[in-house]
A and B are shown apart, each in its own frame.
Chain A
Amino acid sequence: MDTWVDNLPEPGPYSCRMSTQRDERIALLQGTLDLLILRTLVFGRQHGQGIARAIEQQSDETLLVDHGSLYPALQRLEARGWIEAEWGTSENNRRARFYALTKQGRKQLVAQARQWRRLAAAIGGILGPEEA
């Protein structure tokens, strides 16, 4: 069963007491894709297609990246300064934008990953004794 990784502009369900602002909620929600992107770029710079493919591979094909959400996400991350981009040539000699982690991005990766684990554990707790 494949799961679509998607971004939804819904008010985030998980905001700890601090964050009741709307945009923070969105930020946390889209965090999953952001996290995956940052994670992939750890292994070196990549272009959009490559990132998508890497995510799919690394999850053993159980995650499918929706291209429609990928590029807005990349824009967002670039705007925040967590990744940087430059033009280059891809393996089949086409022009493409290549993305790479910034120092800030590396730090964010750690934070986001931690946040994710906490979330997953919490949900698991509610769901019961099954492994979450």
Chain B
Amino acid sequence: MPKTDLLQGTLDLLILKILALGPNHGWGISNRIRQVSREGLCASQGSLYPALHRLEMRGHVKSEMAPSENNRRARIYTLTEAGRQQLETETETWEQFAASMRRVLRTT
């Protein structure tokens, strides 16, 4: 049972989830996180990019430079098959953890 680096893993989890809906670039992902969480999470954009690159190194996503808005090139990330599997695993882990926390924090 691999030890998951939990909270760093949650950022990875969110990234993978968003990419599951379709390829995107870094800013797009950051924006979406902000929107869907109703401003509850503003993923520090500084940690987003290292996370993206790390996912790529691990083979969970793949990327390529492509022309985008603003006449600039941006790096577009796509979920790989391995990434899809990872997404499932991470989701499970998160749910388990959240459930545990709920149990502990029950009576507060």
Cross-chain contact B103 with A60 (CB below 8 angstroms): yes
Cross-chain contact B96 with A113 (CB below 8 angstroms): no
With contacts A13-B43, A123-B41 taken as known, whether A36 is within 8 angstroms of B17 at the C-beta atoms is: no
Cross-chain contact A14 with B38 (CB below 8 angstroms): no
Cross-chain contact B41 with A119 (CB below 8 angstroms): yes
Within 8 A of A (CB), among B3-37: 3-8, 10-11, 13-14, 17-18, 33, 36-37
Chain A at the B interface: SS class = mixed
Minimum CB–CB distance from A10 to chain B (whole Å) comes to 5
Cross-chain contact A113 with B6 (CB below 8 angstroms): no
Q: Is B63 at the interface (CB under 8 A from chain A)?
A: no
Contact residues in B for A130 (Cβ distance below 8 Å) = 95
Within 8 A of B (CB), among A65-122: 109-110, 113, 116, 118-122
Please tell me which one of the listed residues B17, B33, B96 contacts residue A62 in the complex, with CB atoms under 8 A apart.
B96
B44-72 near A? 1/0 per residue, CB < 8 Å: 10111011000000000000000000000
Contact residues in A for B94 (Cβ distance below 8 Å) = 123, 127, 132
Interface size on A, residues (CB 8 A): 48
**A-B residue pairs in contact (CB < 8 Å), sample of 20:** A1-B92, A10-B7, A11-B50, A13-B7, A13-B11, A14-B11, A15-B44, A16-B41, A25-B44, A29-B7, A36-B104, A39-B108, A63-B97, A109-B108, A122-B40, A123-B13, A123-B14, A126-B18, A126-B37, A132-B94
Interface contacts (Cβ under 8 Å), in number, total 129
Contact residues in B for A2 (Cβ distance below 8 Å) = 1
Chain A contact residues, CB within 8 Å of chain B = 1-6, 8, 10-17, 19-20, 25, 29, 32, 35-36, 39, 42, 55, 58-60, 62-63, 109-110, 113, 116, 118-128, 130-132
Cross-chain contact A122 with B38 (CB below 8 angstroms): yes
Contact residues in B for A122 (Cβ distance below 8 Å) = 37-38, 40-41
